[in-house]
Amino acid sequence: MTKIEEYLKNKRIVHEEKNIFLHGSVPVYVKDALLNDGISLSSVIIKVSQILPEYFVHGLDSIYVGDFEQFHERGINAFYDDGSLYISNVQDDEDDMIDDIVHEIAHHVEENHGMDIYGDGRLEKEFLGKRKKLYFLLDAEGYDVRIKDFLNPDFSREFDEFLSQDIGYVNLRGVTQGLFYSPYAATSLREYFANGFENFHIKKDYNYLQIMSPVLYNKIENLLDKA
């Protein structure tokens, strides 16, 4: 049990949603009710189970829905931690919530299949190649950029804030078009994979993803072949 899970259960502020289990095995717990009355949590979970095969959630302990302090500290609305998903109770609609859940399941998949995804170094090479191109594009646009920041595949809070706040995703979208599936994919290698995984399974824009990121596409397809 993680520290977050232990705290929640000791405080008795989480209840298990009646008969809501992802693929019949992963329980859904609610800390705070969804603020959008138009969202059916059971419908969301059913749709996720239709999108992803059970193979991808093996070992996933639980899904927690609510308002967690990490969301405010990190400016996010979902995260994966030690075998569990934490999903915000503030969602635009069911599709928005499904996106968050599938994206965080991608990080669980990384934990289970890290060697298959990253072991040969090909995905990191593809990612850093795109990062280099992004550096030159932003440099040409007049942004104050340092090449070393673009050659670090790991997540950096400072670099993330530079992309999301200093440049802004609206501006970044135009620069990254045809390079990354979405601006957030440029954040780190892990987010590159998770963003691709999410869009492969939800958007099903296979041709575009395969042309733009062939290694990423093949990694996801190979994982699916094992399901």
166: nearest Cα among 181, 149, 154: 149
Same domain, 107 and 136: no
pLDDT of residue 10: 53
Same domain, 9 and 78: yes
- Helices (H) and strands (E) in the chain — how many of each? 11, 5
Which of 81, 113, 145 is at the close of a domain?
Answer: 113
> Amino acid letter at 172?
L
Same domain, 61 and 142: no
Same domain, 41 and 56: yes
Which of 90, 113, 136 is at the close of a domain?
Answer: 113
Same domain, 141 and 99: no
pTM: 0.91
Report angle CA 147, 152, 156 to the nearest 5 degrees: 105
User: Looking at the predicted structure, is the pLDDT value of residue 6 above 90?
Assistant: no
**Number of separate domains in the chain:** 2
* Structural domain range at position 134: 120-226
Same domain, 195 and 97: no
Same domain, 109 and 126: no
Cα 97 to Cα 216: distance, rounded to the nearest angstrom: 24
Same domain, 109 and 161: no
Sheet holding 78-81, edge to edge: 15-22, 26-30, 62-66, 84-88, 78-81
Which of 60, 90, 113 is at the close of a domain?
Answer: 113
Same domain, 96 and 131: no
pLDDT greater at residue 16 or residue 32: 32
Q: Give the pLDDT confidence of 37-65 residue by residue, as tens digits.
A: 999 999 999 999 999 999 999 999 999 99
Q: Give the pLDDT confidence of 109-149 residue by residue, as tens digits.
A: 999 999 999 999 999 999 999 999 999 999 999 999 999 99
Same domain, 107 and 8: yes
